[in-house]
Amino acid sequence: MKLQRVQVVDSHTGGEPTRIIVAGGPDFGGGSVAAQLAVFRTLHDRFRSAVVNEPRGSDVLVGAILVPSPDPACTTGVIFFNNVGYLGMCGHGTIGLVATLAHLGRIGPGELHLDTCVGRVTAHFAADGAVTLTNVPSYRAKKAVTVDVPGIGPVTGDVAWGGNWFFLVGEHPWALELNHVEQLTDATWRIRQAVNSQGFPEVDHIELFGPPRAGGHSRNFVLCPGKAYDRSPCGTGTSAKLACLAADGKLAAGAEWIQESILGSTFTGRFRWLDRAKGEIAPIISGTAHVNSEATLLLDERDPFCWGIRT
Ligand code: PYC
């Protein structure tokens, strides 16, 4: 029986893990990254589960696979995925990807472009390891939407795109502390179901904001699509936040916004306007990732849990 060998490099960005597949994954047939994602989703979804789900992975793990890009300016294409499906963009994962490419000696300090299924992302890798990415165009789609959340009551938030869809809540009764994670997860999961059933089925990330505790401007708690919370400040969530701050005139173009995660790890965000009339910005997010493992996954068809435990 032949084993499938899959080479991965693991890292974490502000505590949030990323597993990058660098060799041994399926061939999605080329074309745009979005077209390759469609093939991945339809024909190879069990491979996604094998890489990130238990018993090899865990709910919190975000995976990424390097794919060819038809854009000659891009160093690589990348598809991000998690325990339940696929992500549009992933900020912490992009920072992990850049650190991984540097670790592998594939890039040095300087600028590179990455092709994702929702658009091109530009990253800068500094000699000290800091990564700064310019995310896909981001915007607020709807301000102050109130949803009725069973067991909680009315909750008001903004709907915004930062490479994934977010519902951002500033006013709520919960303390954003690590020892309240179960309560925060329960509350945000309920909010997500209410948001999805009350007009916004596309929203799959819920983001709560509270006062900073590590010298930043704000602390967040982000519930990801598969019910795991983001250990990092969430790059796409910070992008969505910047779009809301820009739309409300609460942050000037170029000014710094330090977003803390529930762990106290930080991303520094800034933005430039792309289209002021439409409220469209280019979010610029800086952070650091640490590579912490190189491994070969072994996929053995005789293993009853070879393709991961799917819930
Ligand atoms: O950093 O964008 C992000 C992210 C999305 C889901 C987990 N992390």
Residue 234 bears catalytic tag? yes
List, in sequence order, every residue forming a beta bridge with 23; answer none if it has no partner.
7
Is the pTM higher than 0.85? yes
pLDDT at 115: 98
Residue 224 bears catalytic tag? no
Say if residue 288's pLDDT is above 90: yes
**What is the per-residue pLDDT across 65-110, written as a single tens digit (0 to 9) for each?**
999 999 999 999 999 999 999 999 999 999 999 999 999 999 999 9
pLDDT at 154: 98
Residue 90 Cβ < 6 Å to ligand 1: yes
Say if residue 311's pLDDT is above 80: no
Spatial separation of the C-alpha atoms in residues 205 and 309, rounded to whole Å: 22
More confident residue, 311 or 53: 53
Which atom of ligand 1 is nearest the CA belonging to 233? 1
List, in sequence order, every residue forming a beta bridge with 229; answer none if it has no partner.
223
Spatial separation of the C-alpha atoms in residues 134 and 282, rounded to whole Å: 6
Say if residue 1's pLDDT is above 90: no
Ligand 1 centre to CA of 50 (Å) is 20
pLDDT at 165: 98
Which atom of ligand 1 is nearest the CA belonging to 89? 2
Find the mean pLDDT for residues 133-137: 98
Say if residue 26's pLDDT is above 80: yes
The residue nearest atom 8 of ligand 1, judged by CA position, is 234
Say if residue 196's pLDDT is above 80: yes
Tokens of 9: 């490099």
pLDDT at 30: 97
What type of residue is 156?
T
**What is the per-residue pLDDT across 211-249, written as a single tens digit (0 to 9) for each?**
999 899 999 999 999 999 999 999 999 999 999 999 999
Say if residue 15's pLDDT is above 90: yes
**What is the per-residue pLDDT across 244-272, written as a single tens digit (0 to 9) for each?**
999 999 999 999 999 999 999 999 999 99
The CA–CA distances, whole Å, from 210 to 153, 167, 194, 217 equal: 19, 15, 21, 9
Spatial separation of the C-alpha atoms in residues 303 and 311, rounded to whole Å: 18
Q: How many CA atoms lie within 13 A of 241 on its CB side?
A: 31
**Average pLDDT, rounded, for the chain:** 98
Tokens of 225: 């699509």
pLDDT at 310: 85
Percentage of the chain lying above the pLDDT 70 cut: 100
Comparing CA positions, the residue from 283, 288, 273 lying closest to residue 134 is 283
Identify the active-site residue in 74, 90, 224, 244: 90
pLDDT at 103: 98
Ligand 1: residue of 18, 20, 90 to mutate (most ligand atoms within 8 A of CB) is 90
pLDDT at 224: 98
Is the CB of residue 168 less than 8 Å from the CB of residue 240?
Answer: yes
Contacts of residues 209-217 at CB distance under 8 Å and 24 or more positions apart, as own/partner, are: 209/168, 209/169, 209/170, 209/176, 209/241, 210/174, 210/175, 210/176, 212/258, 212/260, 213/260, 213/264, 214/260, 214/264, 214/266, 215/258, 215/266, 216/258, 216/259, 216/260, 216/266, 217/257, 217/258, 217/259
Q: Is 37 exposed, middle or buried (0-12, 13-18, 19+ CB in 10 A)?
A: buried
Say if residue 2's pLDDT is above 90: no
Spatial separation of the C-alpha atoms in residues 143 and 200, rounded to whole Å: 13
Cβ atoms within 10 Å of 123's Cβ, excluding its own: 22
Ligand 1 centre to CA of 2 (Å) is 35
Task: Give the rounded distance of the alpha carbon of 155 from its chain centre.
Answer: 24
pLDDT at 116: 98
3-state secondary structure of 194: helix
